[in-house]
A and B are shown apart, each in its own frame.
Chain A
Amino acid sequence: MAAAILSVLAALAAYPVVGTGYGVRSVQQIFMWIALAGSWNLISGLTGYVSFGHVAFFGAGAYAGAILVASAGWPWPLAALAGGAAALVLAVVIGYPCLRLKGPYFAISMLGLNEVLRALVSYFEGLTGGGNGLSLPTLDASVAIYYVMGVLAIVVTAMSWLIVTSRFGLRLMTIREDEVAAEAMGIDTFHHKLGALLLSAVGPGVAGALMARDQGYIEPISVFPLAITVTMIVMALFGGKGTVFGPVLGAAVLFVAQEIVWARYPYVHPLLFGAIIVGVVLLMPRGVLGLLQQRYRLPRTI
């Protein structure tokens, strides 16, 4: 098993040598989605607290990173970490009030979050360029970002695995199953949920900053779109929420399917995603990996 994983990683590491510019960008996107879907899974899959505004962390990281590179001349790898830090701060600010309450209220408050951030970004235009967007100095770092994004995907997946196999993860899942019972057992649900939210915000924050560097130009509408949240949710659900490799599977399969199908049928793309969500929720709530886990008696912790 380990040898299989290592050879896949080796192949991906060698890919930029033979791939085209487009190919490198595409695989880099798969890494990004793995990081995003995997992060969403940490809060929503494990604790059952659905985050509908997760793209807010992505956008916050994108702006933090872009501002540091464009205005303060920071080197982009450092700015990417700062993006993660910014997302962390946002998670604390949002998490404190909203996680004290039960699931539905959290979901509702996350729903509006990214619109609010968009408005704030537009308002502070001296800093963010507002509606004009922000341009970064030209730099072709496509390959370097490929590797960093790959590392991010690995880190998020590894973090997932560590959590799922730990006591902490077990407690999170207890909260998901029955929060009242969890509290009765003495679990400090609030701090556990907050911890999960913080961990789930870092990945998107770093990914956002990396994307900003890669694109060279960001504007509010393109870093806070609902479509990014939808895609991460679909990928995690499809692959298997609450599992470690579910989001990885979901990201890889759906991204490839999307590129192939969407190139020919652009108009029905959201409809398909909506249908997949409905289908997964009704028919295979544990996702593909969940199904495989049941069928082949695979360990719970993959």
Chain B
Amino acid sequence: MLGQVIISGILSGALYAMVALGLGLIFGVMRVINIAHGPLLMLGSYTTYFLYAHFGINPLLTVPIAMAVLFVVGVLLQRGLVFRVVDAPELSSLLLTFGISIALVNLAQLAFTSDLRAVEYITGSWLVGGLAFSKPRMIAFVFAAGVTGLSFLLLKFTRLGKAIRATSQSREVAMVCGVDVGRIHMLTFGFASALAAAGGALLAVIVAIQPEMGGVWTFKSFLVIVLGGAGNYPGALVGGLLLGLVEQVASLFLTTQLSEVVAYVLLVLVLLVRPSGLLGGRQT
């Protein structure tokens, strides 16, 4: 039983890590807490659904499309609304993204109705020994690991990635070095939205899609960032896996109900004991 649960935990951990990385980027670069992150993921799921249901496109191929679409949405949101509060007190950005998130969910309800959507693409699992490896989750894991890996490569080796990291460390110095900070903010928000969309697109094959599915992802992404350390991007990976494992193991030994409490208690404990995160990061 424990073995099965650990597998479940690792598989879900990769998804958590990828989505949380997006949130972490926005926080690191712009000091904005994007409460609308979950709804952006939800929009990614719907993109996959519609491409699959109406055009018959293989759901796995829709992942890059969803990423591209939400990249644009993210850039528009940043350019249109979020950029105005980047320098304002944190209260404003929190409230702004909160308002955006409510609006996005309701728009989805109006446009898509609250009816459950499902993408029945691939179900079942590969059985190895006594353990079941869920097919859709394995595929999601591979994709998520791939996207996260690519993201790290991008951050570490490309000029854009370095500019993002520089802005994340110190905006003023980055500006002095010639980085167009405004453009970086825009691209980061777009990139983060694309990561959320990838998560959503992969989830579309695993869970049922409905407008309110994103909310819990926002909270869990924060949890991952706190665990790994704010501004510490590889920390998102560790945090994601840890969260996945803790949740699954807790559900095994406690009941499903209490696993939510466990995640929360973990958050509070980490905030109390090591607020800069397990891998060390920046405390605000």
Contacts and interface: CB of A to CB of B under 8 A. Distances in A.
B32 to A, nearest CB: 9
A108 B110 CA distance: 28
B75 interface: no
Most buried by A among B33, B81, B215, B218: B33
A294 to B, nearest CB: 18
A274 interface: yes
A275 interface: yes
Interface residues of A, number: 43
A230 B109 contact: no
A100 B105 CA distance: 32
B283 A226 contact: no
A234 to B, nearest CB: 8
Contact of A98 (B88, B92, B271): B271
Given A44-B91, A102-B283, A274-B106, A122 B222 contact: no
B99 A277 contact: yes
Contact of A271 (B91, B110, B271, B284): B110
A237 interface: yes
A282 B107 contact: no
Given A104-B90, A105-B271, A281-B95, A111 B219 contact: yes
Interface stretch (B45-53, B194-202, B255-263): B255-263
B103 interface: yes
Nearest to A106: B271
A134 B268 CA distance: 30
A44 B98 CA distance: 14
B264 interface: yes
B132 interface: no
A288 B144 CA distance: 46
A269 B90 CA distance: 27
A300 B90 CA distance: 23
Interface in B240-284: 255, 257-258, 260-261, 263-264, 267-268, 271-272, 275, 283-284
Given A115-B260, A271-B107, A48 B91 contact: yes
A107 B35 CA distance: 10
A115 to B, nearest CB: 6
Nearest to B263: A112
Interface in A93-110: 97-98, 100-105, 107-109
Contacts of B222: 108, 111
Contact of B275 (A50, A105, A274, A281): A105
A77 to B, nearest CB: 32
Nearest to B27: A104
B22 to A, nearest CB: 16
A120 interface: yes
Nearest to B255: A123
B110 A281 contact: no
Contacts of A113: 264
Interface residues on B, range: 35 or more
B139 interface: no
B25 to A, nearest CB: 15
A147 interface: no
B92 A285 contact: yes
Given A281-B85, A281-B92, A275 B255 contact: no
Contacts of B223: 108, 112
B102 interface: yes
B106 A268 contact: yes
A185 to B, nearest CB: 18
A277 B102 contact: yes
A274 B103 contact: yes
Contact of B95 (A97, A111, A123, A237): A237
A86 interface: no
Nearest to B113: A267
A123 B257 contact: yes
29 contacts: A44-B91, A48-B90, A97-B271, A97-B272, A98-B271, A101-B283, A103-B94, A105-B226, A105-B284, A108-B219, A108-B226, A109-B267, A111-B35, A111-B219, A111-B222, A115-B264, A116-B261, A116-B264, A233-B98, A237-B95, A268-B110, A270-B105, A270-B106, A271-B106, A275-B103, A277-B98, A278-B99, A278-B100, A282-B84
Given A104-B90, A107-B33, A116-B260, 20 more contacts: A50-B91, A50-B95, A100-B271, A100-B272, A101-B271, A104-B33, A105-B271, A107-B94, A108-B33, A108-B222, A113-B264, A115-B219, A116-B261, A176-B89, A267-B110, A270-B106, A273-B102, A274-B99, A278-B100, A285-B88
Interface of B: 27, 33, 35, 81, 84-85, 88-92, 94-96, 98-107, 109-110, 215-216, 218-219, 222-223, 226, 255, 257-258, 260-261, 263-264, 267-268, 271-272, 275, 283-284
